Amino acid sequence: MSLFENCEQSSLQHYVIQNHKKQDMVRTGSYNTTNNMSHCNSWMVVADGHGVGNVINVLNTLDWDDTMNNDEPIEYVKTLINSMEQTIRDGSTISIVKISNIGIRMWWIGDSQIRVYKNNEELWRSNNHNGENLKELQKTREKNLETELAWELSVLDNEHITLKPSNYIYHIVDGKKEKLTLTRSLGHNGDVCQETETHFIPFDNKGKWKIIAASDGFWGMTCLYDDGFLKDNDYGAEELCKIASQRWSKKWYYVDPRDKDNTKIVKQEIQGPHGDIGVTVWSGNM
């Protein structure tokens, strides 16, 4: 069977649950090529907006079918956002995936992470551009940007949750400080780092593949023990979104990171707003 015939056994899905900011955006589709291998040529986009909301509104109304026909779609998106009149206190992550008959090309800015699974094993994941990434944090400090300790939710297992240390970064935008958890972002008048990371994974031999690109409202509700359903091709975008949504709403046994003897474990709901959840999934046999 040819590679193209194998590629017809693929699934492409997206799903979103808006809880608080209502600024998650997910899109999927197929793009044109000269060889017309439309089943192979799929694309996925995830954006997680923050702040005023004009940036994510532009991304929401963008013609993504047309945009994804570009060889470097993220550069088109960056140019578009940078042409906006002003984006002070307004920005978004962006993660883009293009699947062809030869492999997977990925671009990203921010922490809407992409993970790739092959034959039921995690093969690769994108680096998060945020205050938890020590290499990213070092780059911001080399620019003499101020940082501040922060705490992020961290799921330990299906019943226990804790807090883990992270950092806020005080970016200088139009001469004033803007406090973000991100080290890179679209928007913010172009004064926050917009350097794109990119990666390519070839379809070098036959196998079962799955790609998940999702916002931090999804990944923040997952843990090491979730690998079983994350890599399972039977779990699509809707199923994954609903798992995360249920976790945002359930009562957890909270483990205080300051309590080394775990003597203060109590069961309670997550305090504060629940994160928006956006998930895209591609799976197939190549």
Ordered DSSP codes for 9-42: SEEEEEEEE--SS--EEEEEEE---TT--TTT-E
Query: What pLDDT score was predicted for residue 268?
Result: 85
Report pLDDT digits (tens) over 39-84.
568 999 999 999 999 999 999 999 999 999 999 999 999 999 999 9
Integer CA distances (angstroms), 93 to 29, 38, 240, in order? 19, 27, 20
Confidence band for 2, pLDDT divided at 50, 70 and 90: very low
User: Whole-angstrom Cα distance, residue 61 to residue 56?
Assistant: 9
Per-residue pLDDT for 6 more than 50?
A: no
User: Whole-angstrom Cα distance, residue 274 to residue 18?
Assistant: 9
Report pLDDT digits (tens) over 234-280.
999 999 999 999 999 999 999 988 877 766 677 888 877 788 999 99
Token pair of 283, please?
């799976």
Token pair of 231, please?
């890599």
User: How many Å from the N-terminal Cα to the C-terminal Cα in the chain?
Assistant: 10
Per-residue pLDDT for 37 more than 60?
A: no
What is the arithmetic mean of pLDDT over 129-139?
95
User: Whole-angstrom Cα distance, residue 226 to residue 247?
Assistant: 12
Query: What pLDDT score was predicted for residue 205?
Result: 81
What is the arithmetic mean of pLDDT over 161-189?
96
What is the arithmetic mean of pLDDT over 184-206?
95
Lowest mean pLDDT among 1-5, 30-34, 114-118, 241-245: 1-5
Query: What pLDDT score was predicted for residue 3?
Result: 35
Q: Where are the alpha helices (DSSP H) in the chain?
A: 3-7, 54-61, 64-67, 73-82, 134-142, 216-219, 227-230, 237-249
User: Whole-angstrom Cα distance, residue 264 to residue 98?
Assistant: 47
